[in-house]
Amino acid sequence: AEAIGAGVVRFIPQRLREAGRQYMAGVSAGGSGVMRMGDHAEIFGLRANGEEFPLEISLSRITHGGKPLYSAVLNDISARRRVEARLNALANYDALTSLPNRALFHQRLQRSLVHAQRFNEGLAVLFIDLDRFKNVNDTLGHDAGDRVLQAVAERLHGCLREVDTLACLGWDEFAVLIEQVTDTRFVGSVARKLLKTIAELLMLGEQEYQITASIGISTYPADGSDATALLKNADIAMYRAKERGKNNSQF
């Protein structure tokens, strides 16, 4: 109802109207003929209440009596964007912790390796496995186990820099990507900090619970030149940490 009788400019935010005017001026100077229907662009639209929303616009031009006439088809694609965002989350993020999943972590690691190779930089992968996590589910139940995983994810995130990538690889396994590594001693200090944070007492309802983790570390270029090799070697190092008594880290 609010669209009827309104000009297209009504649906364009003020900050974008000058760009829209310039675009239309370019279209007007493009000569006669008909623009292909189906060509479209995505812009920000404007609701009556001032809220911006994703808007798809298709513009067509015909020449009638020597004068150009324009037809614009506007489509509110908010629902489509919500669905796409949901599908992206399902494909790339862990449902319980909202962290990147294994597939997305692998993609980011590959991208970081390209950068590291180009600029001759180092990076590190930390593979984190919670110790005896099965006992949590067996003694406290899966709901408690889920809360533990969420709490651990929050703690790990709080220990890392914004530029670091934290991912949940599945169940009780996490991974961290640290870029621009110039000294492996820094990576070791990060691992110790993570272990200390994980080991802090957790309150589940009225019950205290303590959990530890084992961390395996691989570095580029020393331990591999591709994402698969780095993840594999970090996993191997993690099992070495388990063999050496758990609650420790190994390169």
> Could you give the CA distance from residue 136 to residue 241 in angstroms, rounded to a whole number?
20
pLDDT for position 30: 61
Kindly list the averaged pLDDT for each block of 10 residues, start to end, along the chain of length 251. Answer: 82 87 73 54 87 87 82 88 88 92 95 96 97 86 89 94 94 95 94 96 80 96 95 97 96 96
In which element (H, E) is residue 33 found?
A: none
Predicted confidence at residue 180, as pLDDT, reads 93
Q: What is the pLDDT of residue 167?
A: 97
Tell me the H-state helices in 50-163. 78-92, 102-119, 133-140, 142-159
- Model pLDDT, residue 236: 97
Mapped onto helix, strand or coil, the DSSP state of residue 133 is helix
- Tell me which residues are annotated as active site: 172
| pTM for the full predicted model | 0.71
Torsion of CA 194, 199, 203, 209, to 10 degrees: 150
Alpha-carbon distance 59 to 40, whole Å? 7
What is the structure's pLDDT at 154?
Answer: 94
